[in-house]
Amino acid sequence: MTDTSKPHGFIELSIDLAPEQIEPCIGLLSSEGIEYFQEEENRLLCYLPGDQWSEAKEQAVLMLLEKAFGKAQLLSARHIADRNWNAEWEANLQPVEISDRIVIVQKNKNFERKPGQIVIEINPKMSFGTGYHATTRLMLRQMEEMDLADATILDIGTGTGVLAIAARKLGNRHTILAVDNNDWAAENARENITENHTDNIRVEMLDAEDDLAEILDQQYDLILANINRNVIDRILPAIKNRTPTSRILISGIMIYDESWLKKLIKTLGYTSTRTIYEDEWLSTLVEPIS
Ligand SMILES: C[S@@+](CC[C@H](N)C(=O)[O-])C[C@H]1O[C@@H](n2cnc3c(N)ncnc32)[C@H](O)[C@@H]1O
């Protein structure tokens, strides 16, 4: 069923699902580190870099599907060349109005800016962070309500760099550190940062779990973390330990995991000060209890 002969490009997983199972399945697979999804009527297409696919990963995905939905419904896993994937993805992108104030536009697409609108130009290539996913929109809507001007900011899992770019365009005045554990995401973030003329954003290819000591070599006022439940679960205790006064803006969590998240936040001595929702996703701003 799986062609494992080519290590590069992307793997496309095709999963047969009832419509109501699609969002829960995205949540499950996000926890496995799969970041790209295309929803169809009775099918979910998922994409992950070829070098991250293995027999073990296939077994893990099958087990998750079986546990959640009763039986394995992974129809196929096939390789896709990078170039085809990019072209298809980019051709379909349209401007995304995040709010009255913020819009994400793909580079070189015709777009008429409204007065006062903050326009973020993104050329996503293979990275996450186009505004097409609720988790990104939730982060941006939260950020819009915050006073970011004087905050020192760390963006963990930067993807296209969209949140770091937005922070700068929303008036942040400090150097921002943006990290991602995928080299193509880091490269893409740098390109988007240049295209948006947003200075002083340092992008590093670092892993939030393995390199946390290096990433947190200074205190941050605000940590942006749109990742997934598993990574949040593993890094939040270390963040509290190393940079106890930071506020953390979290996304990438499904509403089904809200009680788990609340418990984790409480255990670590944080409190949620603003939680917002879209579809089956949530974003929450957590602050240390003083
Ligand atoms: C959901 S995307 C978010 C992208 C962008 N920040 C946004 O809000 O749209 C998560 C990003 O985190 C990265 N990522 C996942 N696990 C990571 C880890 N352990 N360390 C660093 N980055 C990670 C992925 O490569 C991906 O680019």
pLDDT at position 88 is 58
Asked if residue 214 has its Cβ within 6 Å of ligand 1, the reply is: no
Provide the 8-state DSSP code for 21.
G
pLDDT at position 70 is 78
Lowest mean pLDDT among 23-27, 223-227, 249-253: 23-27
Asked if residue 250 has its Cβ within 6 Å of ligand 1, the reply is: no
Residues 17-41, buried b or exposed e (16+ Cβ, 10 A)? beeebbbbbbbbbbbbbbbbbeeee
Ligand 1 atom nearest residue 252's Cα: 1
Provide the 8-state DSSP code for 71.
S
Q: How far apart are CA 46 and CA 69, in angstroms?
A: 17
- Whether the per-residue pLDDT at 6 is higher than 70: the answer is no
Report which protein residue has its CA nearest ligand 1's atom 14: 157
- CA of 67 from ligand 1 middle (Å) equals 25
Q: Which class for 164: exposed (0-12), middle (13-18), buried (19 or more C-beta within 10 A)?
A: buried
Asked if residue 159 has its Cβ within 6 Å of ligand 1, the reply is: yes
CB 15 within 8 A of CB 65: yes
Summarised one tens digit per residue, pLDDT across range 172-181 is 999 999 999 9
Asked if residue 96 has its Cβ within 6 Å of ligand 1, the reply is: no
Report which protein residue has its CA nearest ligand 1's atom 25: 182
The ipTM value here is 0.99
Distances (CA, A) of 244 to 14, 238, 257: 42, 9, 24
Q: How far apart are CA 249 and CA 277, in angstroms?
A: 13
Lowest mean pLDDT among 77-81, 121-125, 180-184, 186-190: 77-81
Report which protein residue has its CA nearest ligand 1's atom 4: 159
Average confidence score pLDDT of the chain = 87
Q: Which of 231, 232, 248, 278 to mutate to test the pocket of ligand 1 (most atoms within 8 A of CB)?
A: 231
Domain annotation for the chain: domains and CATH numbers: 10-87 (3.30.70.3400), 127-288 (3.40.50.150)
Is 180 flagged in the annotation as binding? yes
Under the banding of pLDDT at 50, 70 and 90, the label for residue 5 is: very low
- Whether the per-residue pLDDT at 85 is higher than 60: the answer is no
Q: How far apart are CA 104 and CA 111, in angstroms?
A: 10
CB 215 within 8 A of CB 156: yes
Q: How far apart are CA 2 and CA 230, in angstroms?
A: 26
pLDDT at position 8 is 57
Residue, of 220 and 124, whose pLDDT is higher = 220
pLDDT at position 45 is 86
